[in-house]
Amino acid sequence: MNEKDFPCLNDELVYLDSACMSFRPQRVIEKVQDYYTDYSGCSGRSGHSISRRAEQELENARAKIASFIGASKSELMFTSGTTEAINTVAQGLDFERVFLTEKEHNSNRAVWQELGVETVNMADLDLEFLEKTLGEKDLVSVLHVSNLDGEILDVETLCKISREKQAYTLIDAAQSISHGPFSVREIDADFVAFSGHKMLGPTGTGGLYVAERVQEELEPLKYGGGAVIDSSLSTNSREDFPHGFEPGLKNIAGFTGLGAAVDYLESIGMRKVLEHEEELTVHLVSELESMNVKIFNKGPGIVSVVPESMSSNEAAEIMDLKGIKVRSGQHCVHPWFKNKDFDSTLRVSLHLYNSKRDVEAFLKVMRSISAL
């Protein structure tokens, strides 16, 4: 992978925190700038050429992003990220119960708690339990890939079971969508949420896939201009999905930038991205196994470790001083850490721009930490 495509990267920096935030290639940055310098108008409102250009660029981006995940344009609404996407589902439908795993991100936990929805918490995705327990109007809302250890859940079988039980499925694809081949058609969930800033795109961007079969059941999270066909002093009629769910002026620069990120990912090939991360992960884990650390890894791209000689936060500070950027903490999955004999992990998360040099730099410092 060409590190030179990413302006933030340099020889002094080892960036291993892509599960939190990915870097952006130059073409994404330029696409964002293009909006502000070439056609900075309102999309879908004014009738002049600048506005028409903005609308065309925005809808072209929607088509690219939808195609990238195997969806049609009419099934993809723009959001500010995974959090807003999950909140849209949570507040747009009434569910009897919501089934979660222990490793769900707070974005997929806090909203259900605040709404007072009955939650059923599973330690792991238990398909046999779900097949026996799920009923109509239940929702299974789970991650696709864990941001803690890279575990990949069998969401295809989950969605099949849920459909048979007339229950709903919401898949948090924030950690999977830019790390390997991904298709909403193969998964066949009702809802899929994702974030642009984790897939080489601008911050404040993301999407919610809503299967055509459930679109009419969902109510919008927000209301306002741009989503309305007509209004009177007491009523209004809104556009169909997705435009009726996107009131207000859209983040045109951001979403066109996300379209450019999709172009970049597709130019490399998602199978190649996955194989690259798998290779780096295998090397990383094999070397860590000889050190005095606990290792948590169940899939490519994400490895958490707990040093025996110091806290994860102290280890991250040492790494930072050496130019190595990793994350320490509970990674927004606080329930998983309950009743453990440690309160945080040091997380390495990879993306297509990482190299064996990056992994070796981390391992060199880790060896000195584990030898203390």
The yes-or-no answer on residue 42 being catalytic is no
Active-site hit among 8, 42, 159, 332: 332
Burial classification of residue 305, based on how many CB atoms lie within 10 Å of its CB (0-12 exposed, 13-18 middle, 19 or more buried): buried
Going from the C-alpha of 307 to that of each of 33, 326, 371, 372, the distances in angstroms are: 43, 14, 10, 10
Residue type for 355, please? Answer: S
Phi, psi dihedrals of residue 197, rounded to the nearest 5°: -70, -10
Neighbouring residues of 126: CB distance < 8 A, sequence distance ≥ 6 = none
Which of 225, 244, 249 minimizes the C-alpha distance to 92?
244
Distance CA 82, CA 72 (A): 19
What the block records as the tokens of 360 is: 């070796």
SS3 297: coil
Kindly report the number of other CB atoms within 10 A of residue 214's CB atom: 17
Helix or strand (DSSP H, E) at 14: strand 14-15
Query: What is the rounded (10 degree) CA torsion for 333, 174, 178, 103?
Result: 30
DSSP-assigned states of every residue in 223-289: --TTSEEEE-SS-EEEPPTTGGG--S---HHHHHHHHHHHHHHHHH-HHHHHHHHHHHHHHHHHHHT
DSSP annotation string for 183-200: -HHHH--SEEEEEGGGTT
Would you name the residues annotated as active-site residues? 332
